[in-house]
Amino acid sequence: MTPLQQASVAKAQQCIQQASTFFNRPFSLPAINFTQRGKIAGTARLQGWEVRINPILLEENEYTFINEVIPHEIAHLIAFRLHGRVRPHGKEWQGIMNQVFNLPARTTHRFNIESVKGQTFPYRCKCSQHELTVRRHNRVQRKETQYLCKACQSPLKLSKRQAS
């Protein structure tokens, strides 16, 4: 385990302790895994009592990541344990972020994702240029689906320039 991964686990322990003290009830430390991929910084697996962390974004953003993402995901678990199935970023989660962790209840991260951004393919409609992910591009190529522009409602067509 890298030093940043160890610091992530320590932050999770701190958050669990804060929540246990605030709510006057014990919460167990969730499993912390460093297997999240793509542009997502982290996810909370509610039933499995697990937090998945993106190791690349962790390494690139270090302690900003640890101090924002870990409490964010732990707050999801605590909200689920206390309130059951509620809106992911609803008032219960926001209250935990604000009152327990004394953090702003931001729903998305602001990290640079260039290094984890997957390959995209250029598509055009009647009004603009679009980028489709590999998965969406492959679905179009296999004729499984057709995507429409949200603005002009015309079908997206593969552009001539190379994939990025």
Predicted TM-score (pTM) of this structure: 0.74
- The pair phi, psi for residue 7, each rounded to 5°, is -65, -35
pLDDT given for residue 151 in this prediction:
95
Q: Where are the domains of the chain?
A: 3-100, 120-158
> DSSP string covering 35-96, please?
---TT--EEEETTTTEEEE-HHHHHHHHHHHHHHHHHHHHHHHHHHHHHSS--TTSHHHHHI
CATH superfamily placement of domain 3-100: Metalloproteases ("zincins"), catalytic domain (3.30.2010.10)
pLDDT given for residue 98 in this prediction:
97
Identify the active-site residue in 59, 68, 73, 144.
73
Residues 81, 91 contacting (CB under 8 angstroms): no
Token pair in block for residue 16: 């669990």
In three-state secondary structure terms, 32 is strand
Torsion from C-alpha of 79, 44, 20, 71, nearest 10 degrees: -100
- DSSP label at residue 157: E
pLDDT given for residue 161 in this prediction:
61
pLDDT given for residue 160 in this prediction:
78
| Residue 73 is a catalytic residue | yes
Residue-wise pLDDT tens digits, 84-103 = 999 999 999 999 999 999 99
Under the banding of pLDDT at 50, 70 and 90, the label for residue 162 is low
Under the banding of pLDDT at 50, 70 and 90, the label for residue 82 is very high
